Structures are given as structure tokens and as C-alpha cells.
Structure 1
């Protein structure tokens, strides 16, 4: 029965998760920089 379920283990996807978090963080920071530049005259 347990074989039918895909047990998600964070350790199996650690590198991909770190990569995606880094990418999202970078985009967020860059977006904030652009917004600040647009606000300044």
C-alpha cells in the first residue's frame, strides 16, 4: 500500500529548492531596486 504513494523528501530536492529560492530572492531584490529608481526624480 505505501508503495503507491510518492513520499516527498526535502533532502531529495535540496539543491533545486535552494536554486529556486535564490532565483526568486534575486528577482525580488532587483524589482525593488527598479521601483526605487522609478520613484526618485
Structure 2
């Protein structure tokens, strides 16, 4: 996994299939997933 701090997103190093085998392909080809990150103070 590669963490890009500038845009606060985590991008997998390789393609990841999020579809389940028993689930119909209802989602669009490119789905944007936004992940919010919280920085904890160093102890």
C-alpha cells in the first residue's frame, strides 16, 4: 500500500477486486472511495 499524504488517500500497489462472486456487477467501473485519515500526536 502506498500512502499519499498530499491527497490523504491510500492506494493499493496492485489492482484489488472489491466485487463478491455472488454479487451482481451493479457498481460503475471506476468507483471513488474517499478515506479520511486522523493523525495522532506522537507519544
Q: TM-score, normalised by structure 1?
A: 0.25
Per residue, is there more strand in 1 or in 2? 2
User: Rg larger in 1 or in 2?
Assistant: 1
Q: TM-score, normalised by structure 2?
A: 0.25
Per residue, is there more helix in 1 or in 2? 1
Q: Quick one: higher RCO (CA 8 Å, sep 6+), 1 or 2?
A: 2
